[in-house]
Chain A
Amino acid sequence: MQPLQKSYLALSDISKSFVGIPVLRNVNFDVRSGEVHALLGENGAGKSTLIKIMSGLFTPDSGIISVETKETRFTSTADAMRRGITTVYQELLLFPELSVAENILLGHSPRHAWGGIDWRGVHARARDLLDQLDSTDLDVSIKVRELSVAQRQRVEIAKALSYNARVLIMDEPTASLAQGDVRRLMSIVKNLRSRGVGIIYVSHRMPEIFALADRVTVLRDGQIIGTEPAHAVNEARLVTMMVGRPIETVFPKSEPIFGETTLEVHNLSSGSLVKDVSFSLRRGEILGVAGLVGSGRTELAHALFGLAPATAGTIDLKGTRVTIRTPSQARDLGIAYVPEDRGLQGLIKSMSVRENLSMAAFERNSKGIFIRFSYEKKRARNLIRRFNIKAKAGPNQPVGRLSGGNQQKVVLAKWLETNPEVLILDEPTRGIDVGAKAEIHRMIDELAKKGMSIILISSELPEVLGMSDRVLIMNNGRCTAIIDRENATPERIGAAMTVSQKAEAA
């Protein structure tokens, strides 16, 4: 299309297999200086493998890598970095106990003539790199442990720049950022682009892709489906390319039928993180909970589920006053909680799908203290079918080997095994691909239709707006507003999420 523009990094006909299973097949991909090239694909499409080949971690089985049109091979990540290709991984790889400056310049610090580290130089250089990222507010001498996720990310980017990066690979950089930080990151990306850095931007989030990308490449099942200029495609087209079939991009929200009130919370507090929160929830209702990271959303869920018991206030379940001090009490009262971090909190990754599925509802699969193994397996099979969990090796497959979306379905299924009346979902679609996301949304809608009361906590405003009957907004531990579906707009919710925080700070 634009043959005059030269690619800085180009891959042609790259293939890679692991133990005989092809992960990438004849992939052609390139990035030019001064462009943002978005890379999309469902989980398991081969994105991470492609990234790892470009960053020198994996060697391709066949195909050619060229840097500035010269054919080359990367012997290691250090080798790729020397040629200007650096990667900012999703799980930020920093040393929490070292300072910002030490992290940025680890391994290539300025030195004195006698070989010692020139600390003044280290600080000045780190300062300079961060200033280039409009992060004049970040102190280079504090420990990384004290930084927020967004700040850590900027440190990672500064670290990449310290190697004179010509190509920066960003793997889902906004997956764990709050809205404000996302905007800031986007302006940093634009700034880098204008300075001639080529950026490979991997993300699931469409608005960012359309705001940033010059070109978009979609990868599916290890093959390139297409590379298009960003202005020539729309969201529906990209989703179809990713999934291979058209997918409902609208939320599957049915007309709600409300029943009696199941949960009533009055002036609930939990330490200093949740203060005076009151709300009620009916059968068949989905209550969305919005708020910035650290606003007390998750802590509210933890208080209701007995993980961090409430310190004040009351909880009534179906008209009966209850005290919830442990998760097992909450479960026995009919409350289920699908936590935000499925790898750490939701699942035991080394255990099988079957074992995880019965983890919250032992009594169902046991007789007295004895586990009924064959019954447990049969139930697991049923759940795998009902929830469309893709576990190739069946119920005994370790759950850690499933894709993110399937893992999330296991967590959801595991909690539905307890027959809850109130289901709390904390970031139920974080980091999972579009296909699985749509499936989970459909499940949530169906559960509400069957009369379950659902609390849906999410950082994705479209999800909250699309799925909820009412939206509760948390801000600094307090509930600042509860808005009905008809009146819920991004503006009103955004205002409630941020406004009083400034007032309190002032």
Chain B
Amino acid sequence: MASFAHIRSLTRHETILAMVVVFALVALSAQSDRFFTVANLLNQGRLMTEVGLVAVAMTFVIASGGIDLSVGSIMGLTAILIGVFWHNFGISLPVAAALAVGVGTLGGFVNGLIIARCGVPPLIATLGTLALYRGLAEGISQARSVGGYPDWFYLLGQGQINGLPTQLLVLFIFAITATIILSCTVWGRTVYAVGSNEIAARFSGLSVERSKLAIYTASGFAAAIAGVIFVSRVSTTRSDMGTGLELDAITAVVLGGTSIFGGKGTIVGTILGLILIQSLKNGLSLAGVRGDGTIVVIGAVLIVTILLSNIFSRDGFPEH
């Protein structure tokens, strides 16, 4: 289709970001010969899946002008509940996992209700539920961890299909679906409309409330799935899982060119942002840079990329 005009106009940031990613990959390969190997790259893909799932959903949240800080806590809560449902209540593991995902999704739905129905600003609403859900997770777990899951459960987090890590396929399907929804459907258009000008969206007869509910519910669902994958990957359940994950996800989304003020952003950008962060983390540590140094570099890359993108897109339309 030749008429993907709004996508075309937004690709500029993604193009710049793609070049930064290529540059980073080349530079990091030169630093360590263990970096650019199939095994290492696939393993990194495995490691970035959880943040990736959350970041893909977060792209919708931020493009709609919101933010979701509670995703890390939802992930932790889901993880704990799998263990509790299965280990303590004796529910079969698939059912336990499904129930836990249901609770996580409900957590997102509650965020949506607080934000859309009660009009609480997303930052405050999800800051509240960040503490609330984490508190629930800790209360339920009583600082005990659950392990010893059956072997088949590890397929999701540690296994592979045709040589690809299982969860990377999950992320792939998730990202493709999200791309189609955001760029080709009425729902995606609604997300951008709500993020650009919520009042005009409402005056145009769009269901702003319903779309916000859907967005935050989806964000909760993505975090819950990430929780299941996390448990499967690390073979154990603890209540502090996913702490700080929300910031990693938001960094990837913003690095990917989604406007923190809403109305703009693509899944492609988010995935590129994700790849850049993960390769910096891994590549720098392989090159012998200490962990604190890596964080500094990631922060600097975020700021420089956004600056570059601003310089190159001077025709950016002023909002007011």
Chain A residues close to B by CB (< 8 Å): 307, 326-328, 330-331, 337, 339, 344-352, 354-355, 359-360, 362, 366, 369-371, 373-374, 376-377, 396, 398, 400-401, 414, 418
Contacts and interface: CB of A to CB of B under 8 A. Distances in A.
Contacts of B319: 349-350
A352 B6 contact: yes
A350 B201 CA distance: 13
Interface string B189-223: 10011001101111111110000000000000000
B263 to A, nearest CB: 6
B203 A345 contact: yes
Given A350-B264, A373-B1, A396-B5, 8 more contacts: A326-B207, A327-B205, A344-B200, A345-B203, A355-B193, A366-B186, A373-B3, A401-B317
A350 B264 CA distance: 10
A348 B203 contact: no
Q: Among A330, A346, A418, which residue has the most Cβ atoms of chain B within 10 A? A: A346
B205 A348 contact: no
A371 B184 contact: yes
A326 to B, nearest CB: 7
B7 to A, nearest CB: 10
Interface in B159-202: 184-187, 189, 192-193, 196-197, 199-202
B4 interface: yes
Given A330-B205, A359-B193, A373-B1, A398 B185 contact: no
Q: Among B199, B201, B264, which residue has the most Cβ atoms of chain A within 10 A? A: B199
Nearest to A344: B199
Contact of B193 (A339, A351, A401, A414): A351
Contacts of A307: 202-203
B118 interface: no
A1 to B, nearest CB: 42
Contact of A362 (B3, B186, B197, B200): B186
B193 A348 contact: yes
Contacts of B263: 348, 350-351
B142 to A, nearest CB: 45
16 contacts: A328-B207, A344-B199, A344-B200, A345-B200, A348-B193, A351-B196, A351-B263, A355-B189, A359-B200, A359-B201, A359-B206, A362-B186, A369-B187, A371-B186, A371-B189, A377-B3
B311 interface: no
Interface of B: 1-6, 9, 184-187, 189, 192-193, 196-197, 199-207, 263-264, 317, 319
Contacts of A327: 202-205
Contacts of A414: 204
Given A344-B197, A350-B196, A351-B196, A374 B206 contact: no
Contact of A348 (B5, B186, B196): B196
Contacts of A359: 193, 200-201, 204, 206
A371 B200 contact: no
Given A328-B207, A330-B205, A369-B187, A347 B6 contact: no
A398 B317 contact: yes
A313 to B, nearest CB: 22
Contact of A360 (B4, B186, B204, B264): B204
B205 A349 contact: no
Nearest to A354: B5
Contacts of B4: 373
A374 B186 contact: no
A370 B193 contact: no
B204 A352 contact: no
Contact of B3 (A330, A339, A374): A374
Nearest to B319: A350
B201 A348 contact: yes
A354 B9 CA distance: 14
A181 to B, nearest CB: 26
B317 A400 contact: yes
A326 B5 CA distance: 31
A345 B202 CA distance: 8
Given A350-B263, A355-B189, A369-B187, A345 B5 contact: no
A339 to B, nearest CB: 5
Given A373-B3, A398-B317, A360 B193 contact: no
